[in-house]
Amino acid sequence: MKRYYLIIISFVFISQNVSAETKTDAYLIDEEPIESVDENKPYKGEFFDTRLNFTLTNENIFGDPSKATVPNYPGWRFDVPNEQGTLFFDNYDTRFSGFETLSHAVLYKLEKQGNWDLEGSFVLRMNQRAERNIVFTDAGSYLRAAYWFSKDRSDMNRLSFLMFPTSSDRFRLGYSYRLSWGGNGVYNRTKYSVPGIKIQYENERFYMFAGAKSSVVINREIDEERAVLGGLAGMGFDITDIVRIEANGGYFDRGSNELPDLVDTNVSLYGGSLQLAIHKGMPVASSIDYKLYRNDPERVVNLFRKPYYPGGLSWLVTAEGTVLGQVLKKAAGEPGVTDVQYGYAGDVNVRLKADYFRFRMDLQYRDLAFMLHRTPSIPAFTIIPSDYGLQSNWFGSVGVDYHIKSSSYTIGLIAGLEQPATFTVNDKITVVRSSGDFSEIPKNEEVLPLTAVKLVQRMDLSESFSAIFDVYLERDPNLTRLERSGTEELFDIKPVFDEENINRFGLNFTVQARF
């Protein structure tokens, strides 16, 4: 069976949110306080960062919804698009798809005592997935004490102590969210919270931090719960006004190995990340999912601002690399022997703005050991055997847009190409799209790259309301389904290419409010 690689060239309309810069500007405020806050002013609690989305969606317009498929394509409906409704280059720097209906209840208090700023914020996220399925989660509740070396707070020289009583997931390592590590997922076997603490010193051109987080997991050697700890540290320095270098790293005790011959040995994860940024007229912004919620009236004006077009040329280029090491069972050798498995990831991100024109580019690389470091590995808790044939994951995407100020309308183009990660065992190739999402390729076939383009039109109806229409085309030549070889053998099944759904044409029309 022959499959043909598809190259797509297309002009499309694209949302204002095509740029990660838009998202990092939008909803949350950095950990550091900003100037001009009334002393000892009490702040009452309220709901904010509310996102309402009403969407007409179909992830595969020309597919047949009467046929069972994996993944599933339900057909035309009013609903949140499933994971097939977002493409591999979407939402690169955030955990959210953008179609959620959710809000946050924030109870915030700030007091000033001499050189000290004392803050507390209780943050409850409500994600409405269905009428009777509303998920409540902690969204980074925290306590913070910051000591300013200048009592009038005339400079940025300060020391801060940040404590997360319930969830320290916002305290992560790495820089791009897609490549981040050391969040709550590092303790994915716990049923308890993952509190943490971060101590940071900073001034106008330099910062450094150290911190820790902990949880409780089952020790398989004694079948009792035991505490596990992790340590994190990092620093950053503005070498010049346009060059910044940053590095962070950590060590995490993840609890005992689950394999019978290694229950007396703990799995440990350690590593480091390095980022170099060059920029002019555009800040080096972190993911919105790293930031803290503050219900502060002085800051609310910044939460929902539209993309800013000051005129002239501004740009940002970042390059990031991460190396992880994890102590796991040695694939070959005597029982009870461990070794270190290394995983690698990196990316390059470019953002450019010239008057009302914007350009973005994302290039990313992840090897299989990095992608599966939270599982950990394959087979689980074991170093990937040397006789596995491995293919790393990489992708590239390019986007442009142009904002028409008079009509509050933005047009542009985005397209991408992705090579999925794979492993080969006994001539059987398995595609790994993410941790837990595996699919086998038919025998004697090869894995080809995915291609996708996306068309979006966005009209801002007011400061808080928008109408968004996006159409996308994706070709995944590696999409398979399982087919029974004969009627007599119940388990005689084999993978075959899902020819009807390899090419997907999807649509989302969303009316959105954010306030």
CA gap 85, 59 in Å, rounded? 5
Report pLDDT for 68.
60
pLDDT in tens, 394-425: 999 999 999 998 888 998 889 999 999 999 99
HSE at residue 170, side-chain half, CA atoms within 13 A, is: 26
Query: Which of 358, 178, 176 lies closest to 281, judged by CA?
Result: 358
pLDDT in tens, 224-268: 999 999 999 999 999 999 999 999 999 999 999 999 999 999 999
Q: How many residues does the chain have?
A: 515
Tell me the DSSP string of 367-404. Answer: -HHHHTTTTTTTTTTBPPPTTSEEE-EEEEEEEEEEEE
Residue 441 host element (H or E)? none
pLDDT in tens, 496-512: 888 888 899 999 999 99
DSSP at 498: -
Query: Which of 125, 124, 121 lies closest to 144, judged by CA?
Result: 121
Report pLDDT for 437.
85
**Rg, Å, the chain Cα set:** 24
Measured in Å, how far apart are the chain's first and last C-alpha atoms?
52
Report pLDDT for 93.
82
pLDDT at 305 over 80: no
CA gap 206, 213 in Å, rounded? 24
**């499933």: which residue's tokens?**
82
Torsion of CA 478, 483, 489, 490, to 10 degrees: 100
Report pLDDT for 67.
67
What percentage of the chain exceeds 90 in pLDDT?
Answer: 55
Torsion of CA 250, 33, 293, 435, to 10 degrees: -20
| Residue, of 172 and 331, whose pLDDT is higher | 172
Tell me the DSSP string of 249-292. Answer: EEEEEEEE-SSGGGTTSEEEEEEEEEEEEEEESS--PPPGGGSB
Query: Which of 369, 402, 414 lies closest to 87, judged by CA?
Result: 414
Query: Which of 323, 320, 328, 329 lies closest to 343, judged by CA?
Result: 323
- Bridge partners of 196, per DSSP, are 164, 213
Chain-centre distance of CA 275, in angstroms? 17
